[in-house]
Structure 1
Amino acid sequence: MATQTAAQRREEARIAYDAYLAECPARQLLDRISDKWVSLVLNALAGGPQRYSDLSRVIAGVSQKMLTQTLRNLERDGLVSRAVTPSVPVRVDYALTGLGESLLPVVQAAKAWAESHIDEIHVARTAYDHR
């Protein structure tokens, strides 16, 4: 068995999608789906297709620019579909794709965990800040 250089080992790991490596595509995807707006958009679309204005109302605090950017990125990644209905005014609906639906249990679990443990986190933060 031949000895490999560190560069060769990194290249092999990159090919195998080792998310611990900065250039790994899987890590780039983890960066994308760990974004708070991505999680909130996916959760908001869990109930079915939504118009942009509906998403904007449901997701408090998201700017128009950030919501547009998040939806475009999710569409690019194949997690969300965009359907344009020609009418006056034009109607645009966003919905989860099959791939997006397969990610939904993960983001729903993270949201549920955050909502059920926020009080414990506040206590821990207060204790930490007082040390």
Structure 2
Amino acid sequence: MKRKHYGDVPGCPVEVTLDLIGGKWKGVVLFHLLDTGCLRFNELHRRLPDVTQRLLTKQLRELEEAGLISRTVITEGPLRVEYRPTDEGESLRPLVEALGEWGRMRLDRYPATRRAATI
């Protein structure tokens, strides 16, 4: 597993966090994996209908590379791949929950911005 080293990062620690979970879909993927514990690729894709398979694969690889999720290939029966948060990914639970709560409050304050299908 290839991990970035941040020892020489001159910016603030938020920069490191956003580098790891930034991107349009990484936080949402983490939200769903932390909520369920484990999902297969197609289950994740169904929960994120606006993301392409290619982009979802890229985001999953980056989260795996960062050590935030694990990927398990199951060869029994039909081949399938499962994703679950690692211990380090689990450590993001309070952050992801806080982001979710802030988003819910924002939607309550500005209901016109609510999408037809919410997460």
> Under TM normalisation by the shorter chain, which class is it?
0.7 to 0.9
Q: Which residue of 2 aligns with 1:72?
A: 61
Q: TM-score, normalised by structure 2?
A: 0.75
- 1:97-128 alpha-carbon deviations (Å, 9 max, x no partner): 000000121022112211221243567xxxxx
Structure number, greater radius of gyration: 1
Question: Residue 89 of structure 1 is aligned with which of 78, 84, 91?
Answer: 78
Q: How much does 1:56 deviate? A: 0.4
Higher relative contact order (CA 8 A, sep 6+): 2
Q: Pick the aligned partner of 1:18 from 10, 15, 22.
A: 10
Retained in 1: the 8 A contact 2:33–2:84?
Answer: yes
Aligned residue for 1:42?
A: 30
Gaps of 5+ in 2: 1-5, 113-119
Q: Which residue of 2 aligns with 1:4?
A: none
Asked if the contact 2:20/2:66 (under 8 Å) is kept, the reply is no
CA offsets 1:36-65 (integer angstroms, 9 cap, x no match): 301100000012110000000112311101
Unaligned runs of 5+ in 1: 1-13, 21-25, 124-131
Q: How many equivalent residue pairs?
A: 106
Displaced runs of 4 or more, over 6 A: none
Return the alpha-carbon distance in structure 1 between the equivalents of residues 102 and 57 of structure 2.
Answer: 27
Percent sequence identity over matched residues?
37
TM-score (norm 1): 0.69
Name the structure with the higher helix share.
1
